[in-house]
Amino acid sequence: MFNSHNFDVLGSTLASTLRRWRGTMGSRKTAQPEKAPELFDREGCPHCRLVREALTELNLDAMIYPVPQGGVRHGQRLQELSGGDAVPFLYDPNTNEKIAGAQAIITYLFRQYRAKQPPAALRESFINLMGSRLATLVRGGKGLKAAPSNAPKKPLALYSFESSPFSRLVRERLCELEIPYLLVNLSKQQLADLGPAAQRLHLGEYKPLPGSKREAFLKEHGRVQAPFLVDPNRGEGAGLFESAEILKYLNAAYAA
């Protein structure tokens, strides 16, 4: 039986389809830097989406500071770093680089962490932005505007990848509630990773790439599934898998 959450998942799936499922497959080579780059982001922003797709395809983790419309929680730090309030904006504590604008950020990330130019499909072109704007449109403005909330003492952690329809629902709510979080990208890296967690395209036992974040996740949790939320502030919030349960938890714990 369909409920509002099921329809939300369908809308999120359509958004990923409009982006042709960019932000699904990730690099096998990118190593995590010592410190996570910091991205000031708005989940529903078409330009920000291109940056998050690049992060997934680089398999690069990032500290996300949500800056929804009407939000105030992270505006001062963004102002101090950038001199303005525009998103996306990236600060890389590993190099002390401060970069504004999607195209400049994407170019920097690929140059710094893959030593190559970004693929054309991730560039801030008219066609890419049109597809990203359509994805925002079908989501009905979710992940754009701030909602009253209580700030956590410590950032949360979300295991996700950009095109995941279920993960998007969680990221939208985290943005609306202005909750900072470490985005851990569980990019798909091989054919065996494709498909839902219980129906992947492989025969026999599922085996992630050796040494990958997916392998470490499987060893710790017994399965690889996104989204997965960890909240160090509240023991009962740690280890939540299902998007509906995560949303219920976030609303109970942080919505004012």
- pLDDT higher than 70, residue 157: yes
C-alpha 76/C-alpha 89 separation (Å) is 13
Mean predicted confidence (pLDDT) in 118-136 = 91
Percent of the chain at pLDDT exceeding 90 = 84
Q: What is the mean pLDDT of the chain?
A: 93
> pLDDT tens-digit profile of 82-113?
999 999 999 999 999 999 999 999 999 999 99
Band (180; pLDDT cuts 50, 70, 90): very high
Q: What is the CA radius of gyration of the chain?
A: 17
Residue 202 has pLDDT above 90, yes or no: no
Is pLDDT of 196 > 80? no
- Does position 220 have pLDDT exceeding 70, yes or no? yes
Average pLDDT estimate for 195-220: 84
DSSP string, 31-52: PPPSS--EEEE-TT-HHHHHHH
Its pTM stands at 0.94
Find where tokens 């395209």 sit: 201
Identify the pLDDT of residue 64: 98
Confidence at residue 239, expressed as pLDDT on a 0 to 100 scale: 87
pLDDT at 42: 98
33-82 tens-digit pLDDT: 999 999 999 999 999 999 999 999 999 999 999 999 999 999 999 999 99
Q: What is d(CA 192, CA 190) in angstroms, rounded to the nearest whole number?
A: 5
Give the separation between CA 250 and CA 138, rounded to whole angstroms: 23
Q: If pLDDT is split at 50, 70 and 90, which confidence band does 29 have? A: confident
For 95-120, b/e burial (b = at least 16 CB within 10 A) is eeeebbbbbbbbbbbbebbbeeebee
The pair of structure tokens assigned to 19 is: 């982006």
- Could you tell me the CA-to-CA distances from 4 to 10, 62, 103, 137, 147 in Å, in that order? 10, 30, 35, 18, 19
- At residue 15 the predicted structure's pLDDT band, cuts being 50, 70 and 90, is very high
Q: Is the pLDDT of residue 236 over 90?
A: no
